C-alpha cells in the first residue's frame, strides 16, 4: 500500500529515532566533558599542593643557610633580599663575548 499517510508516519518515526540518538549522544558527550573538567581540577589541586610543599622545603633550606652564613643575626637575609642596585650592566656579558 502506497498511501501518503504511511510515508508521513515513516518520516516522523525516523525523526524520533534520530532525536533520541542525538540526545543520547549529547548526554554522553556532556558527561565525558564534566568528568574531564573534574580530572583537570583535581590535577591542578595536586600540582598546587606539590608546589606548596616544594616551596616550604626550599624556604626551610634557605633559612638554614641564612642561619649558618649569618650566624643567626639576619644579616644574610637582608643582603639576599636587598636589590642589587650597585651591579653595573657592563658586567653582564653575552655568550659570544665570554
Spacing of C-alpha 76 from chain mean position: 35
Domain count within the chain = 1
DSSP 44: H
20-39 per-position pLDDT tens digit: 999 999 999 999 999 999 99
pTM of the model: 0.50
13 falls within a domain: yes
- Range(s) of the domain holding residue 46: 4-72
91 falls within a domain: no
Mean pLDDT of 53-59: 92
Contacts of 48 (CB under 8 A, 6+ apart): none
90 falls within a domain: no
Amino acid at each position: 500500500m502506497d498511501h501518503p499517510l504511511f510515508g508521513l508516519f515513516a518520516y516522523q518515526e525516523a525523526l524520533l529515532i534520530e532525536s533520541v540518538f542525538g540526545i543520547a549522544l549529547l548526554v554522553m558527550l556532556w558527561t565525558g566533558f564534566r568528568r574531564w573538567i573534574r580530572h583537570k581540577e583535581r590535577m591542578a589541586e595536586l600540582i598546587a599542593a606539590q608546589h606548596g610543599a616544594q616551596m616550604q622545603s626550599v624556604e626551610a633550606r634557605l633559612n638554614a643557610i641564612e642561619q649558618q652564613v649569618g650566624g643567626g643575626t639576619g644579616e644574610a637575609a637582608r643582603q639576599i633580599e636587598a636589590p642589587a642596585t650597585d651591579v653595573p650592566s657592563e658586567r653582564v656579558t653575552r655568550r659570544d663575548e665570554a
